[in-house]
């Protein structure tokens, strides 16, 4: 056997084991490239949304009737947790929750456990800095009514997601909710951000000023409540208007219900006109 043939056989023997690998690489680069490219993009190119704080509702004098404040919730990815009780004990000081309650909520969840506790800015910052594996923070907001139930039949209420369910909170949803910001972040293989962009949608939220006077509303509700206590009436309503321009100064109903305002939602037969 001449030298050239021996070299050819030796080369074939060396290259033959590489044939399956070459075919696999070709399949990955040509046939499966779109799928793998999509998977890589989903890991490195992430989008998130940030919603602006819901706007305030004010009375005619600028006194706050409804306002929102930022808050955060802690979530846990159970796939990354080996010792639930150990994690609960570690999280307890950050969340201000008993470790047993944290463990109970985590065990009750399927994959992602969103703990039923609200975090202020200080707790959220401390938890993020701790960098506990499998633990993250979700940004949100909470709606407050500084005057308690005063005027709730007018104001209505919002859902746990911060969207209007009834009353002015629902009727003025577009104006109160305002714009949202969408973020796009591209990271490298080490997880470091290499590109970030933001896009705003919708109008900026604006405070809503009502014709309602908080003091007049208070007295209207007090009168209804006192009358109900002194009599056997089942329901009652008071509507106070400014005779010079027809503006509504107070609108009260008994019993009070934030999801239903009979003055504007119920039908009544016309009475006598004097």
Cα gap 224→228, rounded to integer Å: 6
Q: Is residue 203 part of a domain?
A: no
Q: What's residue 265's pLDDT?
A: 83
Is residue 236 pLDDT above 60, yes or no? yes
Q: Is residue 246 part of a domain?
A: yes
Q: What's residue 232's pLDDT?
A: 82
Cα gap 219→252, rounded to integer Å: 9
Average pLDDT over residues 32-43: 58
Q: pLDDT tier at 177 (50, 70, 90 boundaries)?
A: confident
Q: Please state the domain count of the chain.
A: 2
Domain limit, last residue, from 129, 146, 163? 146
Q: Is residue 250 part of a domain?
A: yes
Helices 84-95, 121-130: crossing angle, 10 deg rounding: 140
The listed range with the strongest mean pLDDT (16-20, 56-60, 94-98, 161-165) is 56-60
Pure H helices in 45-83: none
| 54 within 8 A of 202, measured Cβ to Cβ | no
Average pLDDT over residues 172-181: 79
Q: Is residue 159 part of a domain?
A: no
pLDDT, tens digit (0-9, with 9 covering 90-100), for 51-96: 678 999 999 999 999 999 888 888 888 888 888 888 889 889 888 8
What's the predicted TM-score (pTM) here? 0.66
Which CATH number belongs to the domain containing residue 221 in this structure?
A: 3.30.450.330
Which CATH number belongs to the domain containing residue 94 in this structure?
A: 3.90.1310.10
Q: Dmax of the chain from CA atoms?
A: 127
């Amino acid at each position: 056997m001449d030298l050239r043939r021996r070299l050819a056989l030796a080369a074939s023997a060396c290259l033959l084991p590489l044939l399956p690998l070459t075919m696999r690489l070709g399949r990955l680069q040509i046939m499966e490239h779109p799928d793998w490219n999509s998977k890589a993009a989903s890991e490195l190119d992430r989008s998130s949304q940030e919603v602006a704080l819901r706007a305030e509702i004010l009375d005619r004098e600028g006194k706050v009737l409804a306002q929102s404040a930022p808050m955060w919730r802690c979530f846990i990815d159970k796939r990354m947790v080996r010792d639930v009780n150990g994690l609960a004990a570690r999280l307890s000081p950050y969340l201000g929750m008993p470790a047993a309650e944290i463990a109970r909520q985590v065990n009750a969840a399927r994959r992602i456990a969103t703990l039923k506790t609200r975090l202020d800015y200080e707790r959220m910052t401390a938890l993020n800095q701790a960098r506990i594996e499998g633990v993250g923070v979700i940004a949100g907001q909470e709606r407050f009514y500084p005057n308690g139930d005063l005027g709730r039949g007018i104001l209505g209420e919002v859902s746990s997601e911060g969207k209007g369910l009834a009353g002015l909170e629902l009727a003025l949803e577009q104006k109160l909710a305002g714009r949202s910001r969408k973020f796009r972040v591209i990271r490298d293989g080490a997880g470091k951000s290499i590109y970030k962009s933001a896009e705003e949608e919708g109008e900026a939220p604006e405070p809503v000023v009502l014709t309602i006077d908080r003091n007049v509303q208070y007295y209207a509700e007090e009168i209804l409540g006192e009358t109900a206590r002194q009599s056997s009436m089942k329901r009652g309503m008071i509507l106070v208007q400014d005779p010079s321009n027809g503006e509504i100064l107070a609108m009260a109903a008994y019993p009070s219900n934030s999801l239903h305002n009979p003055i504007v939602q119920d039908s009544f037969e016309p009475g006598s006109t004097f």
